[in-house]
Amino acid sequence: MAFLVALILATGLVQSSPSPPTLSQKREALRPVVLITTLSPEEVAKRTAPDALEHDTEVVRNEAITIVLTIPECEKAENGACNASADLVTYKPDGTVHTEVKNVSLNGRRATSTLKLTPADATGLYKVVATVRDLNARRFASAERIFGVK
């Protein structure tokens, strides 16, 4: 009889109840995406399809630059509202902070922030790091994007 129970368990014929999601699975569910675009925030707002925006890998210092941050989902509160926000930090090619924006609202699952570069800013690879918090789900995640400035 013990052999039969061991055989059933080993072959998976008896299914156990699903385990609750781990913290890393909750973070994975948030999946933030950072894009750099030369479109204005108004143009970005008009493009509602998920694949309507493309990442610009290289920009010129005098171009208007918009950082776009999206999350595919957030956990809704009892009133149906999303409560998500992010901090965006842009790093210069030497690793120092260029710009920092705190508590950008992601309640609509998308946020934009403008990035101002001056002619005196260095050319090279810049990095944007987004730290996202979904307060209803008590989860967080981060994403980063690298882009060139010429």
Contact between 75 and 29 (Cβ < 8 Å)? no
d(CA 150, CA 148): 7
d(CA 44, CA 129): 20
d(CA 90, CA 100): 6
Q: What is the pLDDT of residues 39-86, one digit of tens each?
A: 999 998 888 776 778 888 999 988 889 999 988 887 888 887 788 999
d(CA 83, CA 107): 6
Res. 100: pLDDT tops 60: yes
Q: What is the pLDDT of residue 50?
A: 60
Give the confidence band of 109 by pLDDT, cuts at 50, 70, 90: confident
Q: What is the pLDDT of residue 135?
A: 85
Q: If you count DSSP H runs as helices and E runs as strands, how many of each does the chain have, helices first?
A: 3, 8
Domains of the chain: 21-149 (2.60.40.1930)
Res. 25: pLDDT tops 60: no
Query: What residue ranges in the chain does DSSP mark as E strands?
Result: 33-37, 58-59, 65-70, 84-91, 97-105, 110-115, 124-134, 139-149
Q: What is the pTM of this model?
A: 0.76
Q: What is the mean pLDDT of residues 114-120?
A: 91
Going by C-alpha positions, the residue among 118, 127, 129 that lies closest to residue 94 is 127
Res. 5: pLDDT tops 70: no
Question: What residue type is assigned to position 5 of the chain?
Answer: V
According to DSSP, the residues that pair with 91 across neighbouring strands are 97, 127
